[in-house]
């Protein structure tokens, strides 16, 4: 067994996310979903044992769910009284979950609730700080059950995601990064959702050659024409050098998807050829890259 396989096998397959309201449990759930965990928010404790069985081997020898993360918090009415006993039941059946408890300082929790304008679930009519204090006191015993306690006071959504992805992915790189490259024509408008935009209108245009203008950028004649222009190869090399620098850093920060736009005037020739070359280079370097030619038929 390789070191990577051993590290992956050592990761928890069953995680319970709990903690103080406003401490980042929703953001944590999003991160676990990106890591391939089946996530359920506010599962009733009475269903915990039933759900846990789905992580055991089924009739075909494979579990119905391979990895799961459940959010259970104070909004679940039986949470405070039944949580610890339910954990003990699971441990006796070798289904002990890995409990992650999230917390933050009173000041930070006050600010977050003020910004979202959502009512605190422990609001007792005595103000927000009183509600936070009451919940913190109520969850004192729950916190003792945690395998990992995370204080999110100094975290942003992005740094919390990075930390969780790094810890629970089983690799230094984090979640796989999917790259979509979109070629397009500027005269038809820039596609929405572009993260990086490369403009190739400075390259020689096959459109102005009678025997080439009616062809698309995937045609061997177009490819050969552009490959014969030294600046085309240099441009592609510089784009690829930049991407080889940027993509591992996006991946390190937990980014799952990246969309790269490559635009020329009409979206039929230069952008198509360059986008295909970028995809090929990224795939050769191990990235999950695909390409879409939005305006190639126009």
Which pLDDT band, with edges at 50, 70 and 90, does 173 fall under?
A: low
In a domain, 11, yes or no: yes
Whether residue 221 is found in the same domain as residue 260:
yes
pLDDT at 277: 97
Final residue of a structural domain among 143, 168, 193:
168
Q: What's the rounded mean pLDDT across residues 126-140?
A: 91
Q: Measured between alpha carbons, how far is 242 from 238 in angstroms, rounded to an integer? A: 6
pLDDT at 165: 80
Whether residue 66 is found in the same domain as residue 144:
yes
Q: Do the beta carbons of residue 74 and residue 80 sit within 8 Å? A: yes
Q: What's the rounded mean pLDDT across residues 265-277?
A: 97
Tokens of 228: 């014969």
Neighbours of 72 (CB within 10 A): 25
Which pLDDT band, with edges at 50, 70 and 90, does 169 fall under?
A: confident
Residue 92: pLDDT above 90?
no
Whether residue 149 is found in the same domain as residue 182:
no
CATH of residue 162's domain is: 3.40.50.300
pLDDT at 259: 95
Q: What's the rounded mean pLDDT across residues 270-297?
A: 95
pLDDT at 2: 39
pLDDT at 7: 41
Whether residue 204 is found in the same domain as residue 284:
yes
Whether residue 199 is found in the same domain as residue 159:
no
In a domain, 173, yes or no: no
Give the list of residues 6+ apart from residue 180 with CB closer than 8 angstroms, or none. Answer: 257, 258, 259, 260, 289, 290, 291, 292
Q: Do the beta carbons of residue 190 and residue 178 sit within 8 Å? A: no
Residue 242: pLDDT above 60?
yes
Q: Measured between alpha carbons, how far is 135 from 132 in angstroms, rounded to an integer? A: 5
Whether residue 142 is found in the same domain as residue 185:
no
**Least reliable range by pLDDT among 41-45, 134-138, 226-230, 262-266:** 41-45
Whether residue 142 is found in the same domain as residue 182:
no
pTM over 0.85: no
**Least reliable range by pLDDT among 8-12, 85-89, 117-121, 123-127:** 8-12
Whether residue 11 is found in the same domain as residue 115:
yes
Q: What's the rounded mean pLDDT across residues 201-226?
A: 95
Final residue of a structural domain among 141, 168, 195:
168
**Least reliable range by pLDDT among 100-109, 154-163, 176-185:** 154-163
Q: What's the rounded mean pLDDT across residues 84-93?
A: 86
pLDDT in tens, 19-75: 999 999 999 999 899 888 999 998 888 888 888 888 876 656 677 788 899 998 888
pLDDT at 202: 97
| Cα distances (angstroms) measured from residue 266 to each of 12, 233, 243, 294 | 51, 20, 24, 10
In this prediction, what percent of the chain has a pLDDT beyond 90? 58
Tokens of 292: 């879409």
Whether residue 258 is found in the same domain as residue 282:
yes
Tokens of 286: 């191990």
Whether residue 255 is found in the same domain as residue 107:
no
**Least reliable range by pLDDT among 33-47, 139-153, 199-213, 271-285:** 33-47
Residue range of the domain that includes 104: 3-168
Whether residue 93 is found in the same domain as residue 218:
no
**How many domains does the chain contain in total?**
2
Tokens of 258: 């990246």
């Amino acid at each position: 067994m390789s070191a990577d396989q051993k590290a992956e096998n050592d990761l928890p397959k069953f995680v319970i996310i709990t903690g103080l309201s406003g401490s980042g449990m929703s953001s944590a759930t999003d991160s676990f979903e990106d890591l391939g965990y089946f996530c359920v928010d506010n599962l009733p404790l009475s269903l915990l044992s039933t759900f846990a069985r789905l992580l055991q081997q089924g009739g075909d020898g494979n579990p119905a769910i391979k990895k799961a993360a459940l959010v259970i918090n104070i909004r679940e009415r039986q949470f405070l009284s039944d949580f610890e006993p339910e954990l003990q039941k699971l441990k006796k059946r070798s289904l002990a979950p890995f409990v992650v408890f999230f917390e933050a300082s009173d000041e930070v929790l006050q600010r977050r609730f003020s910004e979202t304008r959502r009512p605190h679930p422990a609001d007792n009519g005595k103000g927000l700080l009183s509600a936070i204090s009451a919940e913190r006191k109520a969850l004192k015993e729950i916190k003792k059950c945690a395998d990992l306690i995370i204080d999110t006071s100094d975290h942003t959504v992005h740094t919390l995601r990075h930390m969780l992805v790094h810890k629970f992915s089983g690799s230094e790189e984090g979640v796989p990064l999917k790259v979509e490259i979109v070629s397009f024509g500027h005269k038809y408008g820039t596609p929405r959702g572009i993260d990086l935009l490369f403009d190739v209108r400075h390259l020689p245009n096959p459109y102005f050659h009678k025997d080439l203008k009616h062809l698309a950028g995937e045609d061997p004649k177009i490819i050969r024409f552009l490959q014969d222009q030294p600046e085309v190869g240099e441009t592609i090399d510089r784009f690829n050098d930049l991407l080889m620098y940027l993509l591992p850093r996006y991946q390190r920060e937990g980014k799952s998807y990246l969309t790269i736009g490559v635009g020329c005037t009409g979206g039929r020739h230069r952008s198509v050829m360059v986008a295909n070359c970028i995809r090929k280079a990224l795939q050769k370097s191990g990235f999950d890259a695909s390409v879409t030619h939005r305006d190639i038929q126009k």
